[in-house]
Amino acid sequence: MTRYLIMALLMLTTPALADRDRASVEAVQSLQAYAAYKSGDFAQARLLWEDLAARGNTTAMNNLANMFEQGQGSPKDLAASIQWLRKAAELGDPVAQLNLGLAFERGTGVTRDNHEAARWFRKSAEQGDMDAQFNLGVMLATSYGAGAESATGEQRAEARKWLMRSAAQGHEEARTFIGLLPK
């Protein structure tokens, strides 16, 4: 009986141990990539992050997007930057969602589109990112850039909600903007 209990426990804990070991390997590889990046060895950092990204690591995808946007370790490539951001954003990474929203807002590597920007800001804001909450609030308060006077009462109310959430996390500009919104 004891032998079967031990075998059952091993079967239950082995996946957890494998996950922990995989996470440890990824953490070491990520630290190696950061060290290479910080020392200016962008080619090595890129290789390490590409390997992590291929395994679904969204932080590595964000870092690759940044490298392609800056032209570090490869020529500047905004299309590649957006591809990495989109992959991470679609996997639910709030940083990538915020940054993809900013790309759409600015027209960096994509066609400028404030509604698409707001869609990505909302995804990140719903996960608690205070910068995304702020950006979504401003987008709504200005009726997607048409101007504050164009915002509907519903847009202003929703903008206030997101700005208050952002302010509650310490976003100073959000506090200021709340006071500027008409009731």
Position 12 in a domain: no
Q: Which two tokens stand for residue 133?
A: 């909450």
Q: How many domains does the chain have?
A: 2
pTM of this structure: 0.86
- 101 and 86 inside one domain: no
- Contact criterion met (CB below 8 Å) for 35 and 27: no
Helix (H) or strand (E) segment spanning residue 151: none
Let me know if residue 105 belongs to a domain.
yes
Is there a single domain that holds both residue 163 and residue 116? yes
Residues spanned by the domain of 179: 92-183
Give the model's pLDDT for residue 21.
Answer: 75
Region of poorest pLDDT, from 13-27, 34-48, 159-173: 13-27
Q: What is the CA radius of gyration of the chain?
A: 21
Query: 128: alpha, beta or left, given left = phi > 0 and alpha = psi -120 to 50?
Result: left
Among residues 72, 91, 110, which one ends one of the domains?
91
Show which of 59, 91, 123 is a domain's final residue: 91
Residue 71 DSSP SS3? coil
CA-closest candidate to residue 116, choices 131, 130, 135 = 135
Write down which residue in 39, 58, 91 finishes a domain.
Answer: 91
- CATH number, residue 180: 1.25.40.10
Residues 86 and 30 in one domain: yes
pLDDT of 170? 97
